[in-house]
Structure 1
Amino acid sequence: MESAPKKRKAESDDWDKGDRNKKARRKTQWDAGRNGGVDPRALQPGDTGIWATCAMKKEAKSVGDLRDLFQEYATKVYQPEQSNTAAGDDDSNEEEVDIEAEIKKEVAEIRKPTKPLFTSVKLDTQCLMFFRTRSPVEPVSFVEKICQDAAAGVQIQNCRYVKRLTPITACEKANAKGLEVVAKQVLAPHFHGPNQAGKNFAIRPSIRNNKDLTRDEVIKTVAAIVGPGHKVDLHGYDLLILVEIYKNIVGMSVVGADFEKLKRFNLDELRQIPKVDEEASANRIIVLKDE
């Protein structure tokens, strides 16, 4: 007599579990379909961007400071080109412009959702940040401009906890095939063109939280794709190949010979470069004249 209620309870429990599992599966499938199976907040193959390191427990502060710095430089570097293009238009063509069409175009541009030039990617690693970039930002020349200004004495506002910036031209999955794909894409403009023979180069890998690719494997693969006609020179290189591997993503870029001069793009070290004290120099000249 007592077994019947127990049986019904067990059947009820089994049904509840099955119902919950079905709901969980439907939710997972719906989320995957909505996002294409990829978390848009995660670092992905096909990304371009900038790695950055910072002081311990200063990630949130540094993300905000870098976002402001990048936006400031994007305005300096890219907006003037648009202004110059507009200023160079021939006045004689003004009458031919369809005003109504221009207004519609402007309204469409205003209503069109625009993606930010810089999007911070959430990471679970201390002291490490990544900013995804989009056109017209070119990560290598963009980072070089910031570091050149810092080396020349331009005061970089805030960013007191930011250390090294590393530009990334392209990303792929961090496996043997992905490494080959990204290397062919990134290296071709620098080593495989008709006027690109006889380059001295070096390779600098950085591997974090990844056990699939070794340093030796990375160097061997990248050097093979550089190809013949070029020479390895660790100190007198013309071009330096930066390889950044983080978990399941490998990124790569090629920078110039001023990488060491620019303190390996370390803003903290660039701020510490001794600057000439103009006031002291002026006083010294006056003293010499009096003598």
Structure 2
Amino acid sequence: MEARSKRKATDAGGGNGDKRAKTKKQWRPPKTSHQQNGSSAQNHTAKDIHSGDSGIWVTCGKGREGKCVMEMRDLFNEYAKEMYPQSADGPGGGEGKAEGEMDIEKEIQAELDEMKKPAKGQLFTHVRVNLQCVVFFKTIAPVVPTDLVKRICEDAMKNSAIKRTRFAQRLTPMTLMGRASAEGLEKVCLEVLAPHFHQEPFQRRKFAIRPTLRNHNLLSRNDVIKQVASLVGRGHEVDLKNYDLLILVELYQHVCGVCVVDADYERLKRYNISEIYEPTPPQEPNVAATAKAEIGAQDETTDEVVVKATDEDSAQADLEAKGEAKVEAMEDVATEV
């Protein structure tokens, strides 16, 4: 009896030190496919940029990419509510509950469906690119990248005292994306350039082309310029400074993008929102270089004067020498006589 009581006491006291006390695990809802794959704004890469997409390139300071993404996403969504109110809230944003109370199963299913929809219907999706100081946002209809970027820069120009961004710099809209090859670039250009250069009745335009190549070595800058210029067509004039339309071409790895902007591009600081808020002060002329140039000019003048004076002195010395020689010759003749 004593052995049995001791054994029971030992078991009750948890004498076996190897066994751990069991703890209840907190129940968690099952992860959806959207959650398992991560949010679309975090795990999208450059491979997710496909032909037919549109978007906006944004430059920023080194190491500020994450903060730039957050502030630009907020800014884009804010403008989307004003410019595209019917789509700003995303799919299902304006949907209400059906008449009557839904049962629990339908509510859960509706919530799951709602969680899945934003992954496909976000107006702005951040795409990670393997570049420092550069971020990219993919856009979907009804967003028009050129209109959105110009509106943002126009508002910044009107109210430059109210700074709405801290990290973003230049915004470059892309009307259409495609493969970064000669064939892909041609396909994109034909679609993007048509409304501006190939409309009837014909209107002569002055244009310029500005390509930007990042991590791309298939096409050279000159190749891009020549190909795009040939696709503009005849009858238009190239003017790099006083253009009517500017063609922006961006090539990154395997993708390219094209858009056309008007002459306000220069007035709006080439869509550099940081430059609009805090313009770079005009560079003062280099006083030292100017003074040096003036001193150099004075030295050259002095040298010319010295050379001229030296030449005159030499000529005078020659005349005096000739005169002395003539006098000596006359004296010799007189002595002989």
TM-score (norm 1): 0.69
Corresponding position: 1:172 with 2:178: yes
Correspondence for 2:266: 260
Of 42, 46, 55, the match for 2:52 = 46
For residue 65 of structure 2, the aligned residue among 51, 59, 64 is 59
- Greater mean alpha carbon deviation, residues 201-210 or residues 265-274: 265-274
CA distance in 1, matches of 2:62, 2:167: 9
Structure 1 counterpart of 2:242, one-letter code: G
The 8 Å contact of residues 69 and 157 in structure 1, kept in 2 or not, is answered as no
Which 10-residue stretch deviates more, 157-166 or 123-132?
157-166
The alignment status of 1:123 with 2:123, answered yes or no, reads: no
Aligned twin of 2:224: 218
2:86 and 2:202 mapped to 1: Cα distance?
31
Deviation at 1:124, TM superposition (A): 1.4
Query: C-alpha distance in 2, partners of 1:41/1:235?
Result: 36
Who wins on radius of gyration, i.e. which is larger? 2
In angstroms, what is the RMSD of aligned CA positions? 2.9
User: Contact 1:44–1:171 at 8 Å: present in 2 too?
Assistant: yes
The amino acid of 2:45's aligned partner reads R
User: Is the 2:170–2:273 contact (alpha carbons within 8 Å) kept by the matching residues of 1?
Assistant: yes
Cα deviation for residue 233 of structure 1 reads 0.6
Asked if the contact 2:244/2:263 (under 8 Å) is kept, the reply is: yes
Matches within 5 A, 1:100-249: 113-114=117-118, 115-153=121-159, 158-249=164-255
Q: CA deviation at 1:40?
A: 5.4
Question: What is the alpha-carbon distance in structure 2 between the residues aligned to residue 206 and residue 151 of structure 1?
Answer: 25
CA–CA distance in structure 1, aligned partners of residues 73 and 162 of structure 2: 13
- Residue 77 of structure 1 deviates from its aligned partner by 1.4
Contact 1:190 1:196 in 2 (8 A): no
For 1:141 and 1:249, how far apart are their aligned partners in 2?
A: 22
Unaligned runs of 5+ residues in structure 1 are 1-38, 83-99, 102-106, 275-291
Give the distance between the partners of 1:197 and 1:60, measured in 2 at CA. Answer: 44
Unaligned runs of 5+ in 2: 1-42, 89-97, 100-106, 281-337
Q: CA deviation at 1:146?
A: 0.2
Residues 210-231 of structure 1, C-alpha deviation per residue, up to 9 Å, x if partnerless? Answer: 1101111101110111001111
**Matched residues in 1 for 2:244 and 2:183: separation?**
27
- Overall identity of the aligned pairs, in %: 46
The superposition leaves residues 224-252 of structure 1 with CA deviations (integer Å, 9 ceiling, x where unpaired) of 11001111011111100000001111100
Question: What is the CA distance between 1:180 and its match in structure 2?
Answer: 0.5
Aligned residues: 218
1:80 deviates by 7.7
Contact in 1 for aligned 2:57/2:136 (Cα 8 Å): yes
Higher relative contact order (CA 8 A, sep 6+): 1
Deviation at 1:76, TM superposition (A): 1.4
Q: Work out the CA distance in 2 between the residues paired with 1:272 and 1:133.
A: 28
Q: Note if contact 2:160-2:277 (Cα within 8 Å) is conserved in structure 1.
A: no
2-structure distance, mates of 1:212, 1:67: 32
Give a deviation string over 1:34-93, Cα, whole Å, max 9, x none.
xxxxx95332222100000001100001100000000011111121899xxxxxxxxxxx
